Amino acid sequence: MTTDKKPESLGPFEQLVLTAVVALRDRAYGVPIHAKVSELAERPVHLGSVRVTLDRLQDKGYVSSWLADPTPERGGKSKRYWHLEPAGLAALREAMAMSHRMSDTLTESWSRKWKPRRAT
């Protein structure tokens, strides 16, 4: 039985969240991820939507998380840091490659000169 499979395709919001996790590296916890996703999406995003997506990505094995020590500036609560897993990286690469393919195809289609059909 073969187990080699293409990674499950990512939705647009999942791509944004994964990109934010990659961009923030060691600082990837809830608040900066939320800010980065809002910045990438160019619209306000709810904190909960980011966390729901991170949960889903964790279930898929694309990210993992760990809790840091509680701090007083967060009301005595911990930060949950998120880390990209190899499967997540593969999925993100696949999404990027697909975007490139789509972009190339559209660029080619749109740049083609319009030719009138010859009358028969």
Partner 1 sequence: METTPRNIAPSRWVAAIMDRLLPPDWREDMPGDVFEVCGPGGRRIPDDAKLILMGVASQVRRTFDIRLVAGEACVLYISFAGASLSLPLVLVLSVALSVLILRDAYSGQGSPLEAAEDAVVAATVVFLSQALFAFVAPWLALPAHTMLSGAGIGLLAVSIWRVLFRRIIRTPQRPRRRSRQAYRNTWAINLLWMAAGQALILTNTDVVRHSLPDSEIRDFFFVLIPMVIFAIAYRLQMQGPVGPQPERAPLFGHERNELARRRDNLWSGGPVEKGDAPGSRLLSKTEALFFAMLALPLFLPLVGWVSGYTPSANVDWVRLWGNLAAFLALSVLWIFIRKSNRKAARALQEEIDALDASLKT
Whole-angstrom CA distances from 74 to 37, 39, 69, 79, 91 are 21, 23, 11, 8, 33
Interacting residues with partner 1 (CB under 8 A): 1, 3, 29-31, 34, 46-49, 51-52, 55-56, 59, 67, 70-71, 73-80
Q: CB-wise, 42 or 69, nearer to partner 1?
A: 69
Shortest Å, Cβ 67 to partner 1? 6
Least distance in angstroms from the C-beta of 40 to partner 1: 17
- Minimum CB distance to partner 1 smaller for 30 or for 89: 30
Cα dihedral sign for 48, 39, 44, 11? negative
